[in-house]
Amino acid sequence: MRRITAIVLAMLMMLALSATAFAESTVPSGVEDGVLTIAMECAYAPYNWTQGDDSNGAVPIANVPGSYANGYDVMIGKMICEANGWELEVIQSDWDSLVPGVQTGTFDAVIAGQSMTAERAEQVDFAGPYFYATIVCLTKADSPYASATSIADLAGASCTAQIATIWYDTCLPQIEGANMMTAAETAPAMLMALETGMVDFVCTDMPTAQGAVAAYPDMVILDFSGTDGDFQFTEEERAENVNIGVSLMKGNTELREAIDSVLSEMTAEDFNELMAQAIEIQPLSED
């Protein structure tokens, strides 16, 4: 009897494993037509932005006729497509609709400066990382907070960050006494809140801050990384929250492996050099 039970259990386990493998194998890669459709806000420089022509390698935004997308995310998307022999199609999508769009197959992937958080990883698979970011704050050069050397020095200041990001949900609450204002809908709205004096500082990642300083020379970056006064994460949390990845539909192993085959060949220095190029050509940096 025990032998029969063991055999039955073994067969059930094999069937379960086979069903799982079959389910994963039935998830289409999305690039069967030779086109990789990616989504981004097209309003999150230097990761991505909208411009009026195809200068500096910009590509058309498929759902916004007459507009073109450019930025670090577009550059990464083009490299992935070139290596795999695909065409690149860019879709403009609001921040809160990016993950649902991947889940429903509206687009194949999101390359939009998304952190590889544990919460998102429950909803999508990630390829990458394709950038290793640092969390920083931005304030005005003439602000009393411009000399801050730790997040403790920001106590009592008014602040904001972009909605549905670790900057707003996890970082700002670590600043004791901070006056958290309503989260900004977009990165440009966040920066405008600082520029117009609505807040004393904002929290973001280093590339966004570098792009902001290029566009708004009266802003300065507060970088507390590597000090006791930095935002506190465990190593696991830091890897999840700071590294930037490409999100895909759960189980889309084929596409994830194809993208990772490109990104795994790139170093942090490669990423930084490409980001520097994006910051140099972002439209606002030329104003």
Q: Is residue 146 assigned to a domain?
A: yes
Residue that wins the pLDDT comparison between 242 and 132:
132
Q: Is residue 169 assigned to a domain?
A: yes
197 and 212 together in one domain? yes
pLDDT at res. 240: 62
The residue range of the domain holding 89 is 35-132+243-286
The pLDDT confidence band at residue 22, using thresholds 50, 70 and 90, is very low
Question: If you average pLDDT over residues 193-218, what whole number do you get?
Answer: 96
Give the chain's domain count.
Answer: 2
Contacts of residue 77, defined as CB under 8 A and 6 or more positions apart, other chains included, come to: 36, 38, 88, 90, 111
The number of residues in the chain equals 287
pLDDT at res. 241: 61
> Strand 109-115 relative to strand 35-40: parallel, antiparallel, unpaired?
parallel
Residue 13 reports pLDDT greater than 60: no
- C-alpha atoms less than 13 angstroms from C-alpha of 282 in its C-beta half-sphere: 29
60 and 96 together in one domain? yes
187 and 172 together in one domain? yes
**pLDDT, tens only, 35-79:** 999 999 999 999 999 999 999 999 999 999 999 999 999 999 999
97 and 169 together in one domain? no
Q: How many Å apart are CA 133 and CA 8, to the nearest integer?
A: 50
| Backbone angles phi and psi of 269, in degrees to 5 | -65, -40
Question: 3-class DSSP state for residue 92?
Answer: strand
120 and 169 together in one domain? no
**Is 113 in contact with 47 (CB distance < 8 Å)?**
yes
193 and 59 together in one domain? no
Q: How many Å apart are CA 38 and CA 250, to the nearest integer?
A: 16
pLDDT at res. 119: 86
Residue 23 reports pLDDT greater than 60: no
**pLDDT, tens only, 246-255:** 999 999 999 9
86 and 121 together in one domain? yes
- Boundary (domain end) residue, out of 177, 196, 224: 224
pLDDT at res. 15: 46
Residue type, 171: C
- The token pair at 216 is 């708004």
Residue 219 reports pLDDT greater than 70: yes
Check whether the bond before 129 is cis (ω within 30° of 0): yes
Give me the residues paired with residue 180 across strands. 159
- C-alpha atoms less than 13 angstroms from C-alpha of 160 in its C-beta half-sphere: 21
User: Other CB atoms closer than 10 Å to residue 8's CB: what's the count?
Assistant: 10
**Is 283 in contact with 49 (CB distance < 8 Å)?**
yes
| Backbone angles phi and psi of 38, in degrees to 5 | -120, 155
Percent over 90 (pLDDT), the chain: 80
**pLDDT, tens only, 99-130:** 999 999 999 999 999 989 888 999 999 999 99
Contacts of residue 102, defined as CB under 8 A and 6 or more positions apart, other chains included, come to: 39, 108, 109, 110, 124, 247, 248, 249
pLDDT at res. 133: 84
The pLDDT confidence band at residue 284, using thresholds 50, 70 and 90, is low
256 and 120 together in one domain? yes
Question: If you average pLDDT over residues 8-30, what whole number do you get?
Answer: 55
pLDDT at res. 118: 85
**Is 247 in contact with 120 (CB distance < 8 Å)?**
yes
pLDDT at res. 221: 98
**pLDDT, tens only, 125-173:** 999 999 998 899 999 999 999 999 999 999 999 999 999 888 999 899 9
Residue 210 reports pLDDT greater than 90: yes
CATH of the domain at 65: 3.40.190.10
Q: How many Å apart are CA 138 and CA 201, to the nearest integer?
A: 5
Distance of CA 11 to the CA centre of its chain: 43
